[in-house]
Structure 1
Amino acid sequence: MSNNNGQMGLPGAVAMIVGGIIGTGIFTLPAAIGKFGMASLVGLGIATVGAIALALVFSSLSKRTQAAGGPYAYAREGFGDAIGFFNAFSYWCAAWPGNSAIVLSWVFYVQALFGWAPGQNPTQMIIIAMIGLWVPAFINLMGVKSMAKFQVITSVLKFIPMIFLGTVGIYYAFEFGNWPEWNPSGESTMFAISNSIAIATFSYVGVECASIAAASVKNPEKNVPIATVIGTLVCAAVYILVTVAVLGIVPYETLTTSGAPFADAFNAIFGVDWAGKVVAAFAVISGIGALNGWTMIASAVPQAAAENNLFPPAFKKLNKNGVPYWGVLTATAFASLAVIAALSTSGGVEAFSKIVTFSGVTVGVPYFFSVLAQLYWLYTDGRKITNPVKFLRETIIAIIGLVFTYWMVIGSGDLANYLAFIVFLGGFVMMTWMYIRTGRFGNTSIAGDQAK
């Protein structure tokens, strides 16, 4: 995927960031955090600051390391193969469950669009989910150029209802004035804010998309940092504006019981039920765009690790369109199995929550080590920065990012951390097998010390 003719430019890279961050999550985010009232906006604001800090960290890292793989490449450069593998494996274990979560939310909107009862027919949900997972997979297999064009189109279309709510909707929010209380949840304010942060944090996953697919971006040294910052700022503005709009338009009682707050808001503004179906159509478009981008990301990280002999060699094999097809197919297959298993054991909303919290841990770990790599560089080679203000600024941003990623893991809950730990142990078994397969026997420095 290093052919310039098949690479995406700045618009495609920005669209990939926006498409990766804004999936179907934004269409349910106001309801998810709205139960905590106006205090939820504080949590959303803190999560936004953390996401922007991460975007700036990834922007800085991408300027130094143009190698594909994003968090994997940064951790490997800073701490060696073992941590590099851990980051790659952990991120891979976040990408395909993330697709499972996105497609589960997407299924609800497909059902709403066609007037089917959401979440009542597991077999129907599984069939719809398979379509939502495998169509983007085949689009990806057609090549980067096709994927980028599709990503730009879906990113533009998904913004239509969001722009409306973020502008006209703000007017109606103050007109209706259905603002909830500060914290009607019955819990402490600290609890409300903390849970709002945890929920909103998952909505910002994707700030690193362009850096992971750097090999597929034209002039990555320039375009990846710009795309990362622009894409994250655009998403942050959208999240804040539409959440404020929905909180003011939709009554609290409706908001806390509805899975489609956008539809409720549009129905209230226009006074007709068909408006909800229109929004459902845009949610379907948004979800398929996010699935399209994350399918590419799910294959790019293991491909980069395989190039360094840290993942099985099959992950670096390319089809005739220059796509790492093994990564696309395995990620989609695992996501399919996760959806089937989740819907076979629990309801749609519960299954979605379990997958989301698990992904919060597995993506939080690669973010954490990426920020550590930035701090490591700042206090080694980074000390050569002649501008002390720039050095201090980058250090503060990295520390904010470190705290934010630490919270991502803690806030995901005990069960998610327990399951992730078990999966990580399995990953180290894979790493050991790759070390044996490629002839990494022992540690050179330790062997040298023992010989003295």
Structure 2
Amino acid sequence: MSGSEPGKIGLWASTSLVVGNMIGAGIFLVPAAMASYGSISLLGWLFSGIGTFFLAKVFANLSKMLPTATGGPYAYTHHAFGDFAGFLVAWGYWLSNVCSLAAVAISLISALSTFFPVLDKSATAAIITGLGFIWLVTWLNNRGIKTSGNVQLITTVAKLLPLVVIAIGGLFFIRLQNFHPFNSSGKSVFEGISSTAAITMYSFLGIECASIPAGNVKNPKKTISRATMLGLAVTALVYILGSISIMGIIPQKTLMHSVTPYADAAVIMFGNSARYWASAGVAVAAFGALNGWTLVQGQFPYAVAKDKLFPSFFSRLNDNGAPYAAIIVNSVFVSLFMVMNFTKGLVEQFKFLILLTTLTTLVPYLFCAAGYIIIRFDKKHLHSGGWASAILIGSLAFAYSLWAVAGSGQDTVYYGFLLLMAGIPFYVWSVYKKNTVADRQ
């Protein structure tokens, strides 16, 4: 494929999809969540970064072996394990991201409340604003992947600027005494690292995003692999340096109670006015993640519907080549879940949905790690590398994913499993419809 294919995204837009979807608004609160553990939390970042590296290698290598497999985790699982496993991954991943998108919309509203206090006081104003942004990115994504990819690239660069300024500039404001105590978790060093890595691993979710719109990527065999590894490198660097700077700038006891750690660090570095551009960075990060995950949520069910495991209307394309039906259905559900958060009596249900879907973001990683070994042993792919490296990378990625599932908690695993099983009736119906159509033909 040439590098001038119209209507497709290239390396930088693909990389921004990875970086933009991993770096959502939540990362701006992570340093505060980690503060109670002490500077041992920096080793947690390192540990989760190494684990994610093996996952990134799995997705990068799978994209070379199956370069046009739109749907990423679903497509790889479907290829390795067949319809049922593919459907379970698709069902859980789709539901998970719908709920996550609602949470991203809420974080965008929260960030904007710094500039518009009415959003913090009026549920009606917050709901209208949230719905406005949800349907704005719906419109953008329906204009085609080129448009949404360009928006993603712009917002990713914009969100990285304040993060990089604080991550690198903050190194000059560090006070070494702020790194003490090293381990205040009350646990052993190993347990402390495990606990902090369990928190940080969620910040790397989205490493697979470059592979999902594979059919709309220029030269996917090279681009997706490069975008995945480059995206991880940029994100890990920003995460780790940012955590070092903030932990070194803000005393531990103060950081533990901060609700805006990046903004607080910016104030120490540049004065009170810096709080506003830091808050603007959070808003841009949230908007970029909203756009990027909406892109993913259009491409993902589109790929599943093409295999007749989701309703056929998800595979409909508009004149811009965008899976408009999948995007619109996704936005309807995201809108409903967002409204739930601002409705008394439904807040707990919304939080419960977020908890439920945590597991379903990790299960695809398990399947893809195992599927990578299977696909690599396929005769068609023996030329792509040695068996030993395939087994090593796949096994380490699988072990890390399994550890992440275990670390998500007993309740999450139990209810997440029930959520996955709830999709079985839909799978049976899809198979019935698929066989019925085949019989008629």
TM normalised by structure 1 equals 0.89
State the match for 1:444 in structure 2: none
Structure 1 residues 105, 36: CA separation in 2 closer, same or farther (over 3 Å shift)? farther
The Cα offsets for residues 55-90 of structure 1, whole Å up to 9 and x where unpaired, read as: 110000011112101011111111111111111112
Distance 1:324 1:191 in 2: 45
Deviation at 1:209, TM superposition (A): 0.8
State the match for 2:220 in structure 1: 220
Amino acid at match of 1:129: G
The Cα offsets for residues 157-209 of structure 1, whole Å up to 9 and x where unpaired, read as: 111111111211111124x7422422324455444323322221111111111
The equivalences for 1:400-415 within 5 A come to 400-415=396-411
Deviation at 1:379, TM superposition (A): 4.3
Structure 1 residues 53, 116: CA separation in 2 closer, same or farther (over 3 Å shift)? farther
The equivalences for 1:133-144 within 5 A come to 133-144=134-145
Amino acid at match of 2:274: A
State the match for 1:361 in structure 2: 359
State the match for 2:278 in structure 1: 279
State the match for 2:235 in structure 1: 235
Structure 1 residues 302, 27: CA separation in 2 closer, same or farther (over 3 Å shift)? same
State the match for 2:72 in structure 1: 70
Amino acid at match of 1:171: F
Are 1:74 and 1:370, in contact at CA under 8 Å, matched by a contact in 2?
A: yes
Are 1:101 and 1:352, in contact at CA under 8 Å, matched by a contact in 2?
A: no
State the match for 2:289 in structure 1: 290
- More deviation, 403-412/66-75: 403-412
State the match for 2:324 in structure 1: 325
Structure 1 residues 320, 382: CA separation in 2 closer, same or farther (over 3 Å shift)? closer
State the match for 1:312 in structure 2: 311
Are 1:97 and 1:338, in contact at CA under 8 Å, matched by a contact in 2?
A: yes
Distance 1:52 1:219 in 2: 23
State the match for 2:416 in structure 1: 420
Structure 1 residues 15, 111: CA separation in 2 closer, same or farther (over 3 Å shift)? same
Deviation at 1:93, TM superposition (A): 1.6
Deviation at 1:107, TM superposition (A): 2.2
- Please, which runs of 5 or more residues in structure 1 have no aligned partner? 442-452
Structure 1 residues 105, 401: CA separation in 2 closer, same or farther (over 3 Å shift)? same
SS in 2 for 1:344: coil
The Cα offsets for residues 24-68 of structure 1, whole Å up to 9 and x where unpaired, read as: 122112112222111211211111111111111000001111210
Are 2:39 and 2:182, in contact at CA under 8 Å, matched by a contact in 1?
A: yes
Are 2:97 and 2:297, in contact at CA under 8 Å, matched by a contact in 1?
A: yes
The equivalences for 1:15-94 within 5 A come to 15-66=16-67, 67-94=69-96
State the match for 2:262 in structure 1: 262
Are 2:119 and 2:125, in contact at CA under 8 Å, matched by a contact in 1?
A: no
Deviation at 1:18, TM superposition (A): 1.0
SS in 1 for 2:319: coil
The Cα offsets for residues 265-313 of structure 1, whole Å up to 9 and x where unpaired, read as: 00111232x2111110111111101110100101211110100111100
Query: Over aligned residue pairs, what C-alpha RMSD do you find?
Result: 2.5
Structure 1 residues 343, 399: CA separation in 2 closer, same or farther (over 3 Å shift)? farther
Are 2:15 and 2:230, in contact at CA under 8 Å, matched by a contact in 1?
A: yes
SS in 1 for 2:338: helix
Amino acid at match of 1:7: K
Distance 1:52 1:242 in 2: 19
State the match for 2:430 in structure 1: 434
Distance 1:148 1:365 in 2: 27
Distance 2:384 2:420 in 1: 40
Amino acid at match of 1:54: L
Structure 1 residues 312, 62: CA separation in 2 closer, same or farther (over 3 Å shift)? same
Are 2:356 and 2:419, in contact at CA under 8 Å, matched by a contact in 1?
A: no
Distance 1:338 1:223 in 2: 34
- More deviation, 24-33/127-136: 127-136
SS in 2 for 1:8: coil
Are 1:202 and 1:356, in contact at CA under 8 Å, matched by a contact in 2?
A: no
Are 2:337 and 2:350, in contact at CA under 8 Å, matched by a contact in 1?
A: no
Distance 1:69 1:392 in 2: 27
Structure 1 residues 103, 173: CA separation in 2 closer, same or farther (over 3 Å shift)? farther
Give percent identity, aligned residues only.
33
State the match for 2:97 in structure 1: 95
- Please, which runs of 5 or more residues in structure 2 have no aligned partner? none
Amino acid at match of 1:88: A
Structure 1 residues 63, 45: CA separation in 2 closer, same or farther (over 3 Å shift)? same
Deviation at 1:96, TM superposition (A): 1.2
Amino acid at match of 2:263: A
TM normalised by structure 2 equals 0.91
Deviation at 1:14, TM superposition (A): 0.9
